Amino acid sequence: MSFDLVLFGGTGDLAWRKLMPALFQAFRHGTLPADGRILGIARDDLTNEQYRELIQQRFADVELAKRPTAEEFGRFAQLLQFQRLDLSRPADYGRLKDRLAQRRADVVLMYLATAPSLFTTVCEQLAAAGLNTPNTRIVLEKPLGHDLASNREINETVRRVFSEQQVFRIDHYLGKPSVQNLFALRFGNALFEPLWRRENIANIQVTIAEDLGVEKRGAFYDSTGALRDMVQNHALQLVCALAMEPPISSDADAIRDEKLKVLRSMRPWTPESMAQHAVRGQYGPGSVGGEPVPGYRQEPGVAPDSCTETFVALRTEIANWRWAGVPFYIRTGKRLAARDAHIAVNFRPAPHAIFKAPMGAANRLVIHLQPRDGLQLHLLAQGQENRRHMQSLSPVHLDLDFDKRFGSERVGAYERLLLDVIDGRLNLFVRSDEQEAAWRWVEPLLDAWQGNDAGLRPYAAGSWGPSAASAMIARDGFCWSEEQ
């Protein structure tokens, strides 16, 4: 199958940091269709050779395992071409159409790695130039809009130009191997699904922690914040994967129908619940890795009186028969104590204790997302030190490390998702009604927090966030994973 991947924003940060390394890995693994072309699009005035040299230079900043050798890049570079295009000029789209017509590839992929504010312009210009053909697919990066209204506006424009089956709204967390194995764990095995309900599960925690600050993205982040940047998309998609009912098949719409039901079942926010179950914070000066780091308001591009949250902790419930009364905790933030994304499914203790066990000990399933991928099942067992005390139990765990188990077979998130776009598989992409439901759920928080610092709690860089987040979960008698 032949394909043309048209990469709008082809010289941008996302292109060289994520997309090009992922495409190269697919090329290295032999899974990228051989008859393909990657056409970088930007306002720069570059030749094909200059573009290849630029990408080769950028690969020097990619993690070592994903860097090509000179020989490998020489072969990969034959796929790379460049075209100068001003997104606001209709004539430039006409030239793009002429270039694509020279090959007439089986599939044309338009990847919009640009600012979301440009999505509607690009889609309208593609339609005006006749580039919205039936064999065209369009990929939209997050964030898709700034709020519910802007999200709807983008989706309505896209729907006028492309059918829903042609639109791939990407959330790279859904491409992570651990998330894929969450679906497999639940729906491909008979072990856990009978236990996956309120009678057996005490609470579920989703943590997406970053030890980095805003780096060079201060201006962007200051108009976005943690709620938009991480909760509305990544965290809620993880909640959907955890809470959804088994779909009737592995068909894309069957899966997305069940995720939509979860989003619609999440308890809506009220002033009372926001006061008790929503914590926002902003990092101040602190220490990371033994080195002093500045506070958020001292970062380049950030307003000195900024009210933007860099930390969010939420408690919510899903109002249906499976999950009634089970709290779901979501936590994300920058400049925290570690880079650690994981899901903790905490089971209820045995109903009748006949053994002695550590206080509060119970079974727990931990799904690690980053920096490592894997599963840990925490159990209670009789250890060697308890051989004379047969009634005492100690914590143990079973550990599945995906890197050790699958090694070179591993496929990265963007690699998997890009191959799915080429093949036309929508299972791991977000439908427009899902996005709107997610925006609708977070919008009361956005409105309440907009432009004011009421309840904005400071925390030291290098910590686990404001103490209010621990107090919030402690009111239910629970604690975060690192506090156990």
Return d(Cα 405, Cα 177) in angstroms, integer. Answer: 12
Strand (E) or helix (H) holding 97: helix 90-101
| CB distance 290 to 345 below 8 Å | no
Q: What angle do CA 220, 225, 229 make, to 5 degrees?
A: 85
| CB distance 365 to 186 below 8 Å | no
Catalytic residues: 234
Q: What residue spans of 356-431 are helical by DSSP H?
A: 402-406, 413-423
Place of tokens 């856990």: 192
Residue 258 has which token pair? 């069940």
Return d(Cα 315, Cα 327) in angstroms, integer. Answer: 6
Q: Could you say which DSSP state residue 281 is in? A: E
Strand (E) or helix (H) holding 366: strand 364-370
Query: What do you get for the CA distance between the two ends of the chain, in Å?
Result: 52
Phi-psi region of 263 (alpha: psi -120 to 50; beta: other; left: phi over 0): alpha
SS3 316: strand
Cis ω before 292 (30° cut-off from 0):
no
